[in-house]
Structure 1
Amino acid sequence: MSTNTSHTPPDSEGQPDAAAEPGAHQARLIHNEETTEIPVHLLFRDGSEPLGPVKVPLESVVVARRKDTGEEPRPTGAEPVPSRPRPEVGPELAERPARALPGAFGVLAGTCGLAGCVATSWWAGLLSPAVARALRLPASAGAGLGPAQWAAYVGAGVLGMLGFSGLARGRNGRAWVLGLFGRYRGTVRRTGLLWVNPLLPRRLVDVRLRHWRSEAMPAADPDGLALRVVVLVVWRVRDTARAVLGVEDHEAYLRQCVEAALARVPVEPGAGTRGGVTAAGDALTGLVAEEAAPVGVEVFSVQPVRVEYAPEVAPAMNRRRIASLDARRRADTLGSVVDSVEDMVTRLAARGLVELDDYDRKVLVRDLTVAFCSGRGEPL
């Protein structure tokens, strides 16, 4: 007995007949952006049995820019752009205290060396009798300059030179950076009379709080017009090793950092304390402090103290500013005149001094406006 089986054809909308498959689920082709299942039996219609749904993983992609449309790419799931790394001078280059002895040790060593030279001269018979009597020394034996005397001279002289040449006066706000054969040996920040190894080259550094008023530097306003800005920078050297050895000239480096920050931060001339100059000063302080920190320079404030337009645009901007001020003054004057006229007409009508219809009210308002404007010297 043969059985005739036939596959039920889909209807006009591409879906199987509900009567032929009562338990079938009506699948939708597109759910939303998160679709992860595609019914394969809608794609292959060769009379075979429909296969089950196949899962297709979808990954985030970056849509490229369309040609000649100016449309920017829309990254979906792209990695964030890494921040710009800060320059580092080197972790091994950092300020550390150097060895320094009290000045009494240097004075004692120098005195001992000087006394040794005098004693050697007396021993060799080179000290005059008058000096010997003044120093209460016995008569010299006059042994002459021999190898022993020369050795005593050299030892006493070296001791005296090391003792006196190593004396230094430490002051507040000053520091010495010590080095030997190109290697950093430490920093001396102590005050008073000190003895520092004279064989180590010293470089004096000013570590006080300092103020620098710059010359007129080029800048730009929010509209891109050229400006000339004078800034006041408050700064100090915090790490003497990085400031002296990490950069050729830390003062020149700070000046270049200020110029670079002015090229990136727009300054609004003539702004009040709530914006413009104050906001630009905060932005400049943050940028310059970040750029100067790796070289041991601490920046506290970068504030514009004088902002003016460049000579090539100054005349046009002055005319524009004067016109704006004049328009604002005219608007204020007109507002006060209108308020005065309205108040006078209202009072006259309220007290019953005049009875005005529409025409008389218009005439009265016109005459009062002319009178008030003429009294204020405003042209009509």
Structure 2
Amino acid sequence: MERRAFRVAGFAMLGVLVVIAVVIGVALATLEEGPASLVAAVLAVVAALILTGFTVINPNEARVVQFFGRYVGTVTDAGFHWAVPLSTKRRISRRVRNFETDRLKVSDADGNPVEIAAVVVWRVVDTFKASFGVDDHISYVAVQAEAAVRHLATSYPYESHDDGRASLREGNVVSEELTAELGERIALAGVEVLESRITHLAYAPEIAQAMLARQQASAIVGARFKIVEGAVGMVQSALERLGQLQVVELDEERKAQMVANLLVVLCGDRNVQPVVNTGTLYG
């Protein structure tokens, strides 16, 4: 697991270097040539070791410190620091990143080919796992994101025709499941998924026209159903109102004829031309 590395304020160690430089100068000026050279050489080696420990860390960055292959710890505080000398300090960004998958062509739960793409917002939360858990945590996130999107697309239909069945078009449900599944997949890399969203969803070109016709037919059927339902209610209300006001008394045959005429007028998709009966002429 990630742990804090030993560190000292960089400017403090910079002051130590200045003191060492002054001591070297004084030693060379006051001591004899042999001892002076020895002291100067030792101090020069110490100064060189100190120089290898300096590092600068920007905000939302970290340095993974390794001493001859051994993980020493991680420095996460921004600023000028001095860590273990003769160590390698690998930079790891802890900033929030986003990754958008390519448009993937997969089959949904009903077997229909669809095109789908998603964007994933993530960040590194464990620098040890990001450095040593996987070979390249950025590539790992990209591959796992595409795999999670493919699995999600095969688990849901493009659109649901049954009540209570979720579909890919329900953004909130799909996004929550994608975030949860992707979080489990990339936890090994020390990465946290903040959000994931479907950015592109469409039928594949070879069936897009047929599916569009199907959607249009479903919309027409739904609209007709609403029209008929409303027309029946209007006819019923008209008959009840006529009976209450006793405007006219209609037998069953005339009621049936009136209902038929009203339904034709209300449910037709074209304007109706009325025919007015003005009476009968007898010679």
- TM-score, normalising length from structure 2? 0.78
Structure 2 CA distance for aligned equivalents of residues 268 and 106 of structure 1: 63
Of 117, 123, 138, the residue aligned with 1:230 is: 117
Greater RCO (CA < 8 Å, at least 6 residues apart): 2
Paired residue for 2:234?
340
Per the TM alignment, residue 164 of structure 1 is displaced from its structure 2 partner at its CA by: 4.6
* Distance change >3 Å, CA 95–CA 311, structure 1 → 2: same
* Distance change >3 Å, CA 228–CA 352, structure 1 → 2: same
1:99 aligns with 2:12: no
1:286 aligns with 2:192: no
Q: Deviations over 1:294-313 (max 9, x none)?
A: 33223344332332222232
Of 173, 198, 208, the residue aligned with 2:60 is: 173
Q: Deviations over 1:55-110 (max 9, x none)?
A: xxxxxxxxxxxxxxxxxxxxxxxxxxxxxxxxxxxxxxx22221111123321123
Residues 112, 160 of structure 1: 8 Å contact kept: no
Based on CA coordinates, which of the two structures has the bigger radius of gyration? 1
Per the TM alignment, residue 119 of structure 1 is displaced from its structure 2 partner at its CA by: 5.0
State the secondary structure of the residue aligned to 1:197.
Answer: coil
Give the residue type in structure 2 aligned to 1:355: E
Residues 110, 157 of structure 2: 8 Å contact kept: no
**Count of residues paired in the alignment:** 263
Of 253, 265, 270, the residue aligned with 1:371 is: 265
State the secondary structure of the residue aligned to 2:205.
Answer: coil
Structure 1 CA distance for aligned equivalents of residues 107 and 219 of structure 2: 22
Residues 218, 262 of structure 1: 8 Å contact kept: no
Of 66, 89, 94, the residue aligned with 1:207 is: 94
* Distance change >3 Å, CA 324–CA 117, structure 1 → 2: farther
Paired residue for 2:82?
195
* Distance change >3 Å, CA 114–CA 329, structure 1 → 2: farther
Runs (4 or more) in structure 1 with deviation over 6 Å come to none
Of 208, 233, 256, the residue aligned with 1:314 is: 208
* Distance change >3 Å, CA 245–CA 334, structure 1 → 2: same
Q: Deviations over 1:271-293 (max 9, x none)?
A: 7xx94333333333332222222
State the secondary structure of the residue aligned to 2:200.
Answer: strand
Per the TM alignment, residue 356 of structure 1 is displaced from its structure 2 partner at its CA by: 0.9
Structure 2 CA distance for aligned equivalents of residues 167 and 377 of structure 1: 83
Of 198, 216, 219, the residue aligned with 1:325 is: 219
Per the TM alignment, residue 221 of structure 1 is displaced from its structure 2 partner at its CA by: 2.3
Residues 219, 262 of structure 1: 8 Å contact kept: no
Residues 64, 89 of structure 2: 8 Å contact kept: yes
Structure 1 CA distance for aligned equivalents of residues 246 and 3 of structure 2: 91
Q: Where do 5+ consecutive residues of structure 2 fail to align?
A: 273-283
Residues 209, 234 of structure 1: 8 Å contact kept: yes
* Distance change >3 Å, CA 193–CA 332, structure 1 → 2: same
RMSD (Å) for aligned C-alpha atoms: 3.1
Per the TM alignment, residue 247 of structure 1 is displaced from its structure 2 partner at its CA by: 0.9
Of 97, 108, 122, the residue aligned with 1:221 is: 108
Per the TM alignment, residue 179 of structure 1 is displaced from its structure 2 partner at its CA by: 1.4
Q: Deviations over 1:148-181 (max 9, x none)?
A: 5655554454444444553323344211111133
State the secondary structure of the residue aligned to 2:210.
Answer: helix
Residues 180, 201 of structure 1: 8 Å contact kept: yes
Q: Say which structure is richer in helix.
A: 2
Q: Residues 1-380 of structure 1: matches in 2 within 5 Å?
A: 94-116=1-23, 119=26, 123=29, 151=38, 154-265=41-152, 266-269=155-158, 275-276=166-167, 277=170, 278-374=172-268, 377=270
Residues 105, 163 of structure 1: 8 Å contact kept: no
